[in-house]
Amino acid sequence: MTTEDILKLSLDMADLKEVPADTAVYCPGRGIRRVLAGIDIDGAELLLAREQGFDLALAHHPGGGTAVLRWDEVFVRHVELMVRAGVPEDVAQAAVEEKLFEDRIVGQTRNYDRVPALARLLGIAYMNIHTPLDEIGRRRMAAAAGELPSRATVADLIAHFRARFGEFHHALTEIQCPVGGTDNRLGRVAVAHGAGTNGGYPVAKAYFDHGVDTLIYIHCQPSVVRQLTREYGVKGKNLVVTGHIASDSVGINPFLDRLRELGLEVIALGLVGP
Ligand SMILES: [Fe+2]
Ligand SMILES: [Fe+2]
């Protein structure tokens, strides 16, 4: 297989037509048989991959180049997800503006070629697949949440996720409900994932103000939790935070299994097993 074949497979599994801006092949490769896959691939992992005879180092998070510089383009996916959940388009658009503004400016600080340059020097194929795998994870979580009636509680959702996904069962992190409470009814649920990173306060607020009762993020800043709790209290609205590495693994594992079915040897580094 080539790095292009592997990229195409991820797009197909996520039903995406184009390569998202946060996904890239930094060092193309062909005849790939052994893959080292991790959420973050840095210099140490590249050296390990090279030393142990892997053909490809496959990361989830962006490792450099335009995938770190232009990744605000995938943050806009939050708008699509919000609109699908019933948020008016102008409100959804306004909810992402500040983060887009910040990221465009912060992008200037990035040492964007550090890891790709190392891969080129080592002569090892190196790529990352971010949004396609998060989209696979989002769909799996949304489907699981959809299996519960709206009168179910947040505690039921957490129990269901733990039963349904080995990743949540095996992870060292717990699924938390830092805004609202586990005794609350679920009501309408939305999974805001697969859009670069979590949507912070403005995106959560847009969901809560337009009919969503329980919002799922995979991670969340403490200041956002405080702000949402101040605004919505503990009674109606719930923010469920499923845990970064466990939730990334929910999207990555089915893809790695598919690569294995196609005959590749895949060693996963630092993922939570299914
Ligand atoms: Fe992810
Ligand atoms: Fe992640």
Examine the domain organization and report whether 243 and 260 are in the same domain: no
- DSSP summary character for residue 271: P
Taking 90 as the threshold, does the pLDDT of residue 243 lie above it?
Answer: yes
Domain match, 14 and 105 both: yes
Residues 32 and 122 in one domain: yes
Judge contact between 94 and 79, C-beta under 8 A.
no
Is residue 110 situated within a structural domain? Answer: yes
Q: Which ligand is closest in space to the CA of residue 244?
A: 2
Output the CA 217–ligand 1 centroid distance in Å: 11
CA of 86 to the centre of ligand 1 (A): 24
Question: Residue 178's domain is classified under what CATH number?
Answer: 3.40.1390
Residues 175 and 262 in one domain: no
Tokens of 119: 């891969």
Ligand 2 centre distance from Cα of residue 61 (Å): 6
The CA 120 to ligand 1 mean position distance, Å, reads 25
Averaged pLDDT for residues 49-68 = 97
b/e string for 29-39 if b means 16 or more Cβ within 10 A?
A: beebeebbbbb
Going from the Cα of 54 to the center of ligand 1, the distance in angstroms, rounded, reads: 23
Please report the pLDDT score of residue 263 as a whole number.
98
For CA atoms 143, 58, 246, 114, give the dihedral sign. Answer: negative
pLDDT of residue 71: 85
Residue-wise pLDDT for 108-131, tens only, equals 999 999 999 999 999 999 999 999
Radius of gyration, CA atoms only, the chain: 19
**pTM score of the predicted model:** 0.97
Output the CA 14–ligand 2 centroid distance in Å: 16
| Distance between Cα 134 and ligand 1 center (Å) | 5
Considering the domain architecture, whether residues 72 and 175 belong to the same structural domain is answered as: no
Tell me, in angstroms, the distance from the centre of ligand 1 to residue 194's CA.
7
Residue ranges near ligand 1 (ion) with Cβ within 5 Å: 134, 248
Between CA 70 and CA 65 the distance in angstroms is 9
Q: Does residue 273 sit in helix, strand or coil? A: coil
98: in domain: yes
- On whether the CB atoms of residues 239 and 178 are closer than 8 A, the answer is yes
The mean of the pLDDT values for the chain is 97
Same domain, 140 and 121: no
If one counts the domains in the chain, the total is: 2
Q: How many whole angstroms from its chain centre is CA 172?
A: 18
Given the structure tokens 């930094």, which residue do they identify? Answer: 26
Angle at 179 between CA 176 and CA 184, to 5 degrees: 85
pLDDT tens, position by position, 73-104: 999 999 999 999 999 999 999 999 999 999 98
Ligand 1 mean position, distance from CA 96 (Å): 18
Q: Is residue 58 part of a domain?
A: yes
Mean pLDDT over 183-190 rounds to 97
Q: Say how many Å lie between the CA of residue 248 and the centre of ligand 2.
A: 5
